[in-house]
Amino acid sequence: MADTLSALRSLMSSHSPPLHALVVPSEDYHQSEYVSARDKRRAFVSGFTGSAGLALITKDEALLWTDGRYFLQAEQQLSDQWKLMRLAEDPAVDIWMADNLPKDAAIGVDPWCISIDTAQRWERAFAKKQQKLVQTTKNLVDEVWTTRPPAEINAAVVQPLKFAGRSVTDKLKDLRKKLAQEHARGIVLTALDEVAWLYNIRGKDVAYCPVVHAFAIVTSNSAFIYVDKRKVSIEVKTHLEENGIEIKEYTEVSLDAAFLATNELDSVSTAKASLAEVTKQSENSETNKSVNGKHQTGEKCSNLIWADPASCCYALYSKLNPDAVVLQQSPLALPKALKNPVELDGLRKAHVRDGAAVVQYLVWLDNKMQDIYGASGYFLEENTVKKEKPLKSLKLTEVTVSDKLEEFRASKEHFRGLSFPTISSVGPNAAIIHYSPQAETCAELDPDKIYLFDSGAQVCLVYVIENC
């Protein structure tokens, strides 16, 4: 850890301009809370592995901000080179930087890993001392992370209409109506769940999350997806192209955002989709209807670009004209949250199957606690004779019972994996929020101590069920 901090400080000193501080967020290029192994930069530099937090490295200090869920974990994982900053107790990171860093300080951050909202809030805080937020051209953590995991090539899959309940064509049509209402000619979509939902695709690029690393740009008459093409099968390629979506490499999104800003993106498109053109004509006919008694002929210029300030990274926002950007919550947020009848039916069926698995697990656990530890048992039948001699040669641990729960779940139709690492905890471990048992150190079950489990399942790559 000391070598990592020393290497980063060396890069900060040689940077142009020299950096007084370096911010290392938890988020990836899509502002995700849960990220792939190669995007866990904050965990690498600090040693703290919780899902939420932010690291700040100055010339002589290293600080880690996190919330109340992780105070105990952070205390255990941070070395003495780090200071824990408790959210809601200690000053927020922007206030701390503004108050403790010198006048004219340069604070570096990878603009791909910070949202528009956060960057603008920090810049306002820095203004009083003429401090400056510096967008680094390279991620400095990546420069020193010699053991950084390679990018995984996980195939994307199509989410069938029988599970999605709405077609891509229908979703794009509604999206373009909302763009027209805000006089926007395009939108940049960066949130992984929104790209997956809009284009009816799923992936395995983030553990426990059915998403694929991808960006999307949708204009009045075109739609694009930016993804590593090695992840795109013939089936997915056909699905996307049939819905008027042009497939481009993941790294091309930055250049295309600049083209979008200058209204040149459609002209450089290599696959103008006829389906999108038909959709645009339909939308234009509706847009030109009478509004407030006046006939609208589309004369008002639609020259804005929509970006969600909470999820769009600052790097892509910097490619746009700030005076022509609609900074509002994504228009996909509400439609994605409002489940259609097909999704609701699937959700109910998924809960029935998952509930059966959990009941099977509880009965199994109850029987094993009786057999191994001589516990009285909640599910003890009236005519059952309790075993006088427990099977002391066997034992149950937080990990073995967690594995058994997953086994019961996996036996059910459409199971696709866990939705997060199961929290399986005995006694005092049950007080640790987001506790994650490890085989080498986990506790043994004890009939005289509380046992808590918090778990979830993914079904058909869309539904997430949680039981605790």
Tens digit of pLDDT for each residue in 143-191? Answer: 999 999 999 999 999 999 999 999 999 999 999 999 999 999 999 999 9
Q: What was the pLDDT predicted at 302?
A: 76
Residue 107 has pLDDT above 90, yes or no: yes
Task: Look at residues 144, 173, 206 and tell me which one is the last residue of a structural domain.
Answer: 144
Residue 225 lies in a domain: yes
Bigger pLDDT: 2 or 40? 40
| 448 in the same domain as 366 | yes
The answer to which of 96-100, 153-157, 456-460 has the lowest mean pLDDT is 456-460
Residue 130 lies in a domain: yes
| 31 in the same domain as 137 | yes
| 101 in the same domain as 183 | no
Residue 25 lies in a domain: yes
Residue 372 has pLDDT above 50, yes or no: yes
Residue 284 lies in a domain: no
| 436 in the same domain as 320 | no
The phi-psi region of residue 193 (left if phi > 0; otherwise alpha if psi is between -120 and 50; otherwise beta) is alpha
| 347 in the same domain as 203 | no
The answer to which of 46-55, 57-66, 392-401 has the lowest mean pLDDT is 392-401
Percentage of the chain with pLDDT > 70?
A: 88
Res. 1 pLDDT band, cuts 50 70 90 = low
| 353 in the same domain as 321 | no
Res. 460 pLDDT band, cuts 50 70 90 = confident
Res. 336 pLDDT band, cuts 50 70 90 = very high
The answer to which of 267-271, 340-344, 347-351 has the lowest mean pLDDT is 267-271
Residue 296 lies in a domain: no
Q: What was the pLDDT predicted at 334?
A: 97
Ordered DSSP codes for 67-119: -GGGHHHHHHH--TT-EEEETTTSPPHHHHHHHHSPTT-EEEE-GGGSBHHHH
Question: Is-cis flag, bond preceding 335, omega within 30?
Answer: no
Give per-residue pLDDT as tens, 387-420.
555 666 789 999 999 999 999 999 999 898 999 9
| 263 in the same domain as 350 | no
CATH code for the domain in which residue 173 is found: 3.40.350.10
Classify residue 127 by burial, with Cβ atoms within 10 Å: 0-12, 13-18, 19+.
Answer: exposed
The answer to which of 59-63, 68-72, 284-288 has the lowest mean pLDDT is 284-288
The predicted model scores a pTM of: 0.88
| 188 in the same domain as 140 | no
**Mean pLDDT for the chain overall:** 90
Residue 281 has pLDDT above 70, yes or no: no
Residue 283 lies in a domain: no
Q: What was the pLDDT predicted at 380?
A: 59
Strands 215-219 and 223-226: antiparallel
State the chain's maximal CA–CA distance in angstroms: 87
Residue 356 lies in a domain: yes
| 170 in the same domain as 39 | no
Res. 381 pLDDT band, cuts 50 70 90 = low
| Angstrom distance (rounded) from CA 305 to CA 319 | 11
Provide the number of structural domains found in the chain: 3
Residue 150 lies in a domain: no
Strands 223-226 and 245-248: parallel
The answer to which of 185-189, 286-290, 327-331, 432-436 has the lowest mean pLDDT is 286-290
Task: Give Cα separations from 161 to 54, 166, 168, 218 (angstroms).
Answer: 39, 6, 9, 21
| Angstrom distance (rounded) from CA 30 to CA 215 | 8
| 447 in the same domain as 371 | yes
